[in-house]
């Protein structure tokens, strides 16, 4: 069987640099090597946003525009929308019948998210059962690998257990997907916390050059460097996270000693950084503007990709029904 990857993103709107360096950049590389299925996980949005669904469609469009502008190619991978492929929900129902509730309750994210989002009522069947939907999303394409970080390994383990249980009960239909561990830099936001839309500390892929410059100039640096004459330490500097990703090594070799000897000020240093970031992102951003000018593009890509996904998921479901003797 060909090497297959399945991965999805919940549509939360425009993507920021944390998404790019944490996920999207990796997807773009994977599409060259694997048969890839990448999807907008709009049903997953319902698990926490069921009370207000008004932003999901627009968020999906913005997110997929970012995917396309930053390198996902519909000719190299299948890009689709989860809710346009109803087979996921049929498999989810079947897998729900064989998944012990205890497996879901011990999911570490379940309690953690309930605590983090305590202003929302997450005591729903759908929220408890979202790992079953996730398992359906993955195994319906007979994925062999799933790109995950260390913190997501417990989720993948539930998927593997569900696939194993199905195969044990009804016969071998699903491969147990393996983790494709990806080391990704945890990108810090402008204020030094994790970059996140909810903290308002993000640089978006769709920001223009001036917005990007302004945000970078506001970034926290080494807080122990109070005066210009104080020596700094890049290891304590939030902005330096971005230097590592965008500034060429020969320039870093100048900046690091200059910072440590107070030979360069933070304002000047962040100006240098901002120009590298802006130059690096410029071609992608201009492509995004071009793509955004076509109002039908995202819908066309998603409906075309969803049709292709449906062919694959439909043939797996035929095997599932056969195995169940339906
Ligand atoms: S000089 Fe540059 S690396 Fe050093 S603390 Fe300031 S911004 Fe950070």
From ligand 1's centre to the CA of 6, what distance in Å?
Answer: 39
| pTM score | 0.93
* pLDDT of amino acid 45: 92
Q: Which two tokens stand for residue 25?
A: 């950049």
From ligand 1's centre to the CA of 194, what distance in Å?
Answer: 19
* pLDDT of amino acid 140: 98
Whether the CB of 274 sits within 6 Å of ligand 1: no
- Partners of 78 in the beta sheet? 37
* pLDDT of amino acid 310: 98
Return d(Cα 311, Cα 301) in angstroms, integer.
16
* pLDDT of amino acid 243: 97
3-state secondary structure of 205: coil
Under-70 pLDDT residues of the chain: 1
From ligand 1's centre to the CA of 207, what distance in Å?
Answer: 23
* pLDDT of amino acid 1: 52
Whether the CB of 273 sits within 6 Å of ligand 1: no
* pLDDT of amino acid 297: 97
Whether the CB of 247 sits within 6 Å of ligand 1: no
Q: Which atom of ligand 1 is nearest to the CA of 264?
A: 1
Whether the CB of 78 sits within 6 Å of ligand 1: no
Which residue's CA lies nearest to atom 4 of ligand 1?
259
From ligand 1's centre to the CA of 183, what distance in Å?
Answer: 25
* pLDDT of amino acid 251: 97
Whether the CB of 232 sits within 6 Å of ligand 1: yes
From ligand 1's centre to the CA of 37, what distance in Å?
Answer: 41
Return d(Cα 60, Cα 125) in angstroms, integer.
24
Which residue's CA lies nearest to atom 3 of ligand 1?
234
* pLDDT of amino acid 120: 77
Q: Among all chains, which residue has been given the structure tokens 């879901």?
A: 104
Return d(Cα 74, Cα 77) in angstroms, integer.
5
* pLDDT of amino acid 219: 97
Helices (H) and strands (E) in the chain, counts: 15, 5
Query: Left, alpha or beta for 142 (phi > 0: left; psi -120 to 50: alpha)?
Result: left
* pLDDT of amino acid 259: 97
């Amino acid at each position: 069987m060909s090497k297959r990857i399945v991965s999805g993103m919940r549509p939360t709107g425009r993507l920021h640099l944390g998404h790019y360096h944490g996920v999207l950049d990796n997807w773009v590389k994977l599409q060259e090597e694997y048969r890839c299925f990448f999807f907008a996980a709009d049903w997953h949005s319902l698990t926490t946003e069921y009370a207000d669904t008004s932003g999901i469609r627009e968020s999906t469009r913005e997110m997929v525009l970012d995917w396309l502008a930053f390198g996902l190619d519909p000719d190299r991978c299948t890009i689709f929308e989860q809710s346009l492929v109803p087979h996921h929900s049929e498999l989810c129902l079947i897998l729900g019948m064989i998944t012990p509730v205890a497996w879901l309750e011990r999911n570490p994210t379940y309690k953690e998210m309930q605590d983090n989002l305590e202003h929302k009522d997450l005591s729903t069947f759908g929220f408890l059962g979202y790992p079953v939907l996730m398992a359906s999303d993955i195994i319906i394409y007979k994925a062999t690998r799933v790109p995950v970080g260390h913190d997501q390994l417990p989720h993948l383990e539930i998927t593997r257990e569900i696939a194993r249980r199905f195969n044990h009960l009804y016969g071998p239909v699903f491969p147990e997907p393996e983790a494709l561990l990806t080391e990704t830099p945890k990108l810090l936001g402008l204020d030094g916390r994790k970059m996140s839309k909810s903290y308002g500390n993000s640089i978006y892929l769709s920001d223009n050059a001036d917005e990007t410059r302004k945000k970078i100039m506001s970034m926290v640096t080494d807080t122990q460097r109070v005066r210009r004459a104080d020596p700094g330490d890049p290891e304590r500097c939030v902005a330096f996270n971005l230097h590592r990703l965008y500034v060429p090594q020969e320039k870093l070799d100048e900046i690091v000693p200059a910072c440590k000897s107070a030979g360069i000020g933070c304002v000047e240093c962040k100006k240098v950084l901002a120009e590298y970031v802006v130059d690096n992102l410029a071609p992608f951003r201009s492509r995004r503007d071009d793509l955004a000018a076509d109002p039908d593009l995202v819908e066309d890509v998603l409906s075309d990709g969803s049709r292709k996904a449906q062919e694959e998921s439909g043939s797996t479901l035929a095997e599932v029904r056969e195995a169940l003797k339906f």
